[in-house]
Structures are given as C-alpha cells and as structure tokens.
Amino acid sequence: MTKRFLVAALVGLFLLPLSQLNAQVVGFRYRVTPKPGNGPAFENAMRAHAAFRSANGDTWQWVVYQVVAGEQLGDYLVISNGHSYADMDAYETEPFQGLLGGHFGSTVTPLIESIGLRFNIQDTLINRPLPDGAQANLLPVTRYYTTPSGGPAFDESLRLIHEAIVANDFPAYYTVNRPSMGGRAGIVNIVGLSENWAGLATPDPNVVQMMISHYGQERATEIFESFLTSD
C-alpha cells in the first residue's frame, strides 16, 4: 500500500500515532533519498525489510512515507513515534539489532543515495486526530519558523486556535511537532491529517469565519495577527 505525504504530503507503508510535547515524547525520523531510478525497488526492499523486522522481534513500530509535493519530492521518511530518549538506549541493546541491521545493509542500503536522522518532540496538547475509523493517508505539513521573542506569542495563539477548533468541532485534524536535534531552533511543524485529497479542501465556513463566530471579530483578529507575525 502507498500513502502519501505532502510537505506537505506523505504515503505510509506502516502507521503509528503521535504523542506529547510536555512529556518529551520523541519521534525518530529518517529521511531517505533512493538512488535515481530505484524508487520502486526501494519500496519493495523496505516492505521486505519491514516483514523481516516484524518476524525477528523488532519492538518498535515504523511508518514509511513518500514525499509527493514540496521540497525533496520523491524522498521517503521512515518514522517511529511515541518514545523517550531513554528508549533509544534500550532499543540499541536489543539482541535483534545486529540481525536487523545486517538485513537492512544488504537489501536496502545498496538502493540508497543518502540518509539522515532527525528527532522531533511530539505535542499531544495541541493534537486533533481524525474521527474513529478514518485513516490518515495524506499529511500536509506547514512549517513555521519562530524567534525567541516571538515563540511564546505563536504558541499562545496556536493554543487559542486549537481550542476554538475543538469547541466548535471544526473539521480540521492535525498533530504538532518540533525538531529537537538535527534541525534549526524555533521550527514548529503543523502536520495535517486527511483521509483523501478531498479532505484538503477549505471547509465552509472556513477557519477565519469560525474564529470570528467563536471569539468575536476583534479578538479573532488579534489572535491571527499574533499567530502570523510572531515568527
């Protein structure tokens, strides 16, 4: 199966939920660029490797996405969420590591042009999953760059927008994460969740109209101005 990620969107070969910023819940994300012309072979090798990992006792669940719009088009993201940094210490000492690493090295690595690792802190305080039974097949990502002075205002305005969305059962679904290693400081990624392309259409009423109805014109304007000018 192929799910798609935009950088907005990705396509997952395996899936897992996100967790929470305040508890320092970490997601491990590899970005993989296959060698030119090796995309289909890479996908087949990753499917076979995923089955090998499952059969040989891997205790983590991994998700594979493909970038289908935006920068690094055609790259793959290999992600495991919901961990602590201490989990990494335990994971690296698991007896299956040598076996799994050897299999990856012999079957997948020859198809790879480059690979990099980044750690993201997940945020469940600002997190709105899809309704039960719906699957996140498309993940449009919007990346914000905040400054030390603007970051708190951005966080507060994002919290207020999220509260209005939840209170009004507005049809917007998303998770939020922030790089903790391997990326520049101040990045906030808002990851949309959609079952299909139609789910990316602007709702009617839209988020601005919903915010005005919830907070009033003046307060809604203040919140949006703070959100858009604090980076």
The residue-averaged pLDDT of 158-172 equals 97
Inter-residue contact 195 to 136 (CB < 8 Å): yes
Cis, bond preceding 40 (omega within 30 deg of 0) = no
Q: Are 74 and 13 in contact (CB under 8 A)?
A: no
**Can you give the pLDDT at residue 23?**
54
Give the model confidence (pLDDT) of 219-228 as tens digits.
999 999 999 8
Residue 55's domain comprises 4-229
- pLDDT tens, position by position, 89-114: 888 888 888 889 999 999 999 999 99
Detail the DSSP E strand segments found in 102-210: 112-128, 141-145, 174-181, 187-192
CATH number for the domain spanning 74: value is 3.30.70.100
Specify the higher pLDDT residue, 171 or 65: 171
Sign of CA pseudo-dihedral 50, 119, 72, 197? positive
Maximum Cα interatomic distance, the chain, rounded to a whole number of Å: 61
Question: What's the DSSP call for residue 24?
Answer: T
Determine contact, residues 220/208, Cβ cutoff 8 Å: yes
Q: Over the stretch 19-52, which tens digit does the pLDDT of each residue have? A: 334 457 888 889 999 999 999 999 999 999 999 9
Residue 15 has pLDDT above 70, yes or no: no
Check: CB of residue 53 under 8 Å from CB of residue 100. yes
The whole-model pTM stands at 0.79
pLDDT band at residue 183, thresholds of 50, 70 and 90?
low
Cα separation, 125 vs 223, in Å, equals: 18
pLDDT in the model for residue 182: 57
Supply the pLDDT for residue 200: 93
d(CA 162, CA 120): 20
**Total number of domains constituting the chain:** 1
Q: Which amino acid is located at 146 in the chain?
A: T
**What is residue 38's predicted lDDT score, i.e. its pLDDT?**
92
